Amino acid sequence: MKLAKKTLFENSKNTQSIMADFCNKCAPEMWGPDTPADIDILQIVENLEYDTYVPCICEGCGLLGIGKDEDGNPQLAVLDPTRERTAEGIPVNWMNYEEFMALPSKI
């Protein structure tokens, strides 16, 4: 996947940058089931071009990127705790939306 031309906020309804952002998985866990997500994963994926991603940081679960694969499916980048950070960057695992939502909560 390549980096999207638009930023996270250009791909989202959320147009302000705030100190801490929470995704669809974490916002309801932190603030209750009716709380909208700052990082609306599926809405962001809908606005992405195929085979692109945008970086983000969810303060709850550590989500690091949201992508859309060549078939239009959501792909989420999460920190890989089994690998060490290197000069090339932070090691991540890409997974589909269902795998991501099934991960145990870190909150």
Domain membership of residue 107 (yes or no) is no
pLDDT at 33 over 50: yes
Domain that holds residue 10: 2-102
With beta carbons less than 8 A apart as the criterion, state whether 15 and 44 touch: no
Report the length, in residues, of the chain.
Answer: 107
| CA distance to 16, 18, 25, 88, per residue, from 103 (Å) | 28, 25, 10, 26
Domain assignment present for residue 67? The answer is yes
- pLDDT at position 2, please? 78
Amino acid at 28: P
Q: Is residue 76 part of a domain?
A: yes
pLDDT tens-digit map of 65-84? 999 999 999 999 998 888 88
At residue 4, φ and ψ (nearest 5 deg) are -70, 155
Burial of 95 (0-12, 13-18, 19+ CB in 10 A): middle
Residue 59 falls inside a structural domain: yes
Q: Using CA of residue 64, residue 70, residue 72, residue 73, what is the dihedral sign? A: negative
Contact 25, 60 (CB under 8 A): yes
Please give the model's pTM, rounded to 2 decimal places.
0.81
* Region 32-50 average pLDDT: 94
Residue 83 included in any domain:
yes
pLDDT band for position 15 (cuts 50, 70, 90): very low
Q: What pLDDT does 13 receive?
A: 55
Count of structural domains within the chain: 1
The verdict on residue 84 lying in a domain is yes
Average pLDDT score over the chain: 86
The confidence score (pLDDT) of residue 85 equals 83
Mean pLDDT, rounded, for 16-34: 83
Residue 26 in domain: yes
42 assigned to some structural domain: yes
